[in-house]
Amino acid sequence: MLRPLKDIENFAIRATDGEIGHVKDFYFEDDTWVLRYFVVDTGTWLASRKVLVSPMVLRHPEWLQRSLPVNITREQVRNSPGVDTDQPVSRQNEMQMLGYYGYPGYWDGGGLWGGGLYPYALAPGYVGDGLGHVARERELEDYLISERARHSHDDPHLRSCAAVTGYRVQASDGDIGEVAGYLVDDETWAIRYLVVDTGHWWRGHQVLVAPAWIDGVHWAEQRVSTDLRRDEIQNAPPYDDSTDWGREQELQLHQHYGRAGDRAGWQRQHAGA
């Protein structure tokens, strides 16, 4: 199901033995447009320290209770490696943190999460991995050693959703709006659409633009560029965050932009949904 990301802000993160804190931001990977971490403010419990929590540790979200249960303990969070959430997070920071929790990297395998679509498939002990506990730990240790060497000079690819909100959106023929929010798939945690507010330019409304239609995110200029024309975006089906955005609306949107290939890919991904 697609959900506005802003609806998940301030959700409580519940460890197996109590509450950790509340979601204040999200980090996404700028080349895959997948949410990789919830940024959690621990409040007075850890002197308002901010920690990163991966969707890999997430259990079934409790939407009505506005709570995200996770398979880690408060003590694990207390002793976890520190990460400065005000700075770009490097691959080395990630490997240290994921290794501490006993989780592998998500960046290899060809899928959104390792070799698959879903973050829970990377969890230690997942029934689909076919490995015993001891073998799994040995494999993870060897993997992390090799990954630290291989990614020692990588540039950071994690970006704050809050920081990108407000970036101006530049069409092929000029500015058209600004980033007002995000729609995410609540199973894969992929960002499926950017919400673009065209009000300052066209006295308009909010519309959706998929990451696949984005040419680039220009961090220094606080700008998102797309090869879509301004009139295409202006005349796109309006987005209303008070209503569910489902398959029918998505197909209409893709048809409007003439993105038949993207529409077919979406249908394959959600076959049987």
**pLDDT tens digits, 173-209:** 999 999 999 999 999 999 999 999 998 765 668 999 9
Look at residue 170 in the predicted model and tell me its pLDDT. Answer: 95
pLDDT of residue 124 exceeding 80, the answer is: no
Please write the tens of the pLDDT for every residue from 256-269. Answer: 999 864 444 444 44
- The answer for residues whose C-beta is within 8 angstroms of residue 1's C-beta and 6 or more apart is 185, 186, 187, 244
**Pairing relationship of beta strands 223-226 and 168-171 according to DSSP bridges:** parallel
pTM: 0.83
Per the document, the length of the chain is: 273
C-beta of residue 87 within 8 angstroms of C-beta of residue 100:
no
Best CA proximity match to 23, nearest among 59, 64, 69: 69
**Gap between the Cα atoms of 153 and 271, Å rounded:** 39
Q: Kindly list the structural domains of the chain, giving each domain's residue range(s) and its CATH number in brackets, ordered by start.
A: 2-158 (3.90.50.10), 165-269 (3.90.50.10)
Look at residue 42 in the predicted model and tell me its pLDDT. Answer: 94
pLDDT of residue 141 exceeding 80, the answer is: no
What is the residue-averaged pLDDT of the chain? Answer: 83
**% of the chain with per-residue pLDDT over 70:** 81
The count of C-alpha atoms lying within 13 angstroms of the C-alpha of 132, restricted to the half-sphere facing its C-beta, is: 2
Please write the tens of the pLDDT for every residue from 80-114. Answer: 988 877 777 888 888 889 999 999 899 888 889 99
Please write the tens of the pLDDT for every residue from 220-267. Answer: 999 999 999 999 998 999 998 888 787 888 889 999 999 864 444 444
Contacts 24+ apart (CB under 8 A), 111-114: 112/32, 112/34, 112/188, 112/190, 113/34, 113/56, 113/188
Look at residue 203 in the predicted model and tell me its pLDDT. Answer: 63
